[in-house]
Amino acid sequence: MATSVLNAPHFINEEAAFAYVESRLWPHGPVCSHCGNADSNRIRKMEGKTTRLGLHKCYECKGQFTVKQGTIFESSHLPLHLWLQVIHLMCASKKGISTNQIQRMLSCSMKTAWFLTHRIREAMRSGDFSPMGGADNTVEIDETYIGRKDGFEIKRGSGHKNAVLTLVERGGEARSFHLESATKDVIMPIVRANVKRESFVMTDEANRYSKLGNEFANHGSVDHSRKEYGYYDRETGANINTNTVEGYYSIFKRGMIGVYQHCGEQHLHRYLAEFDFRYSNRAKLGVNDANRADIALQGVKGKRLTYETATSL
Ligand SMILES: [Zn+2]
């Protein structure tokens, strides 16, 4: 574990942690969480020994607030510098980090560790739904099966498992979906909504993808059942394969098996958000561990998650 980088003041000192989060979430100065006032002459930072850290007073609405309001940190008793440590570790470990490890690191309860990591996954959830790909871009599409659906007996095949669809743009981001079922009727609307028509799409030979060529600029497929894993297409000058999305799944599966053994299906979408986030903000795209943690931190706003919604979602 990369403990040396956790020496920065905002990982150790609570005041530094507040200053750090304020500088990221309020780049132009404090913003009142009650009325939206951002006039620095009408906001004062409360000082004094008995004052809560980071407390500000708004002279427009007379309200008091801290940078934690309206974020995943709100209503949490965990010190902010520990939140920042966990965010950093989740952003820096390629396959994720177990609830057990967080629990040991913070000496907190398993419930706290679990809740904490799920809130950070919410922060990692992308709000970007603009279509991927485009002219000269390739989007690989594939499905995988993981875990066990509630109430299904374990049998041969994948009927009892959760189906996941992933779209990966070569040289770009990944977007994954927990599917109700891996059928054409479920998959096609997702593909249409998330991939630009001008894209070159690549899939395996499955029937559900057979008509993609009618809807996208190009469609190439590889026949895995014939042990065909890729080829160079002379006509389009493209390398037809689904190696990128399979690479994504190999990281995802190693992470889910090794780190997240007991993932309920109602939480699968959040684990997918976590793996999508790290993939879409990977080192190859010029994002280092610290940048990645900063990007996750930007996602904490408007993502409050109560224990009730976390368990029922
Ligand atoms: Zn106000």
CA–centroid distance, 57 to ligand 1, in Å, is 8
CA–CA gap between residue 78 and residue 105 (Å, rounded): 13
Mean pLDDT, residues 57-79 taken together: 93
Q: Is-contact 203 219, C-beta < 8 A?
A: yes
CA distances 87 to 20, 69, 165, 186, Å, are 13, 18, 26, 33
CA–centroid distance, 53 to ligand 1, in Å, is 18
Q: Express each pLDDT in 271-310 by its tens digit.
A: 999 999 999 999 999 999 999 999 999 999 876 555 445 4
Q: Express each pLDDT in 107-162 by its tens digit.
A: 989 888 988 999 999 999 987 789 999 999 999 999 999 887 777 777 677 777 89
The confidence band for 226, taking pLDDT boundaries of 50, 70 and 90, is confident
Mean pLDDT, residues 260-265 taken together: 72
Assess whether pLDDT exceeds 50 at residue 312: no
CA–centroid distance, 20 to ligand 1, in Å, is 22
- The neighbour count for residue 9, using CB atoms within 10 Å, is 12
CA–centroid distance, 88 to ligand 1, in Å, is 31
CA–centroid distance, 122 to ligand 1, in Å, is 27
Q: How would DSSP label each residue in 15-54?
A: HHHHHHHHHHH-TTS---TTT----GGGEEE--STTSPTT
Residue 213: closest CA among 244, 236, 232: 236
Q: Is-contact 119 303, C-beta < 8 A?
A: yes
Encoding tokens for residue 13? 């000192």
CA–centroid distance, 62 to ligand 1, in Å, is 6
CA–centroid distance, 298 to ligand 1, in Å, is 22
CA–CA gap between residue 145 and residue 164 (Å, rounded): 6
The confidence band for 261, taking pLDDT boundaries of 50, 70 and 90, is low
CA–CA gap between residue 85 and residue 117 (Å, rounded): 11
The confidence band for 225, taking pLDDT boundaries of 50, 70 and 90, is confident
CA–centroid distance, 10 to ligand 1, in Å, is 27
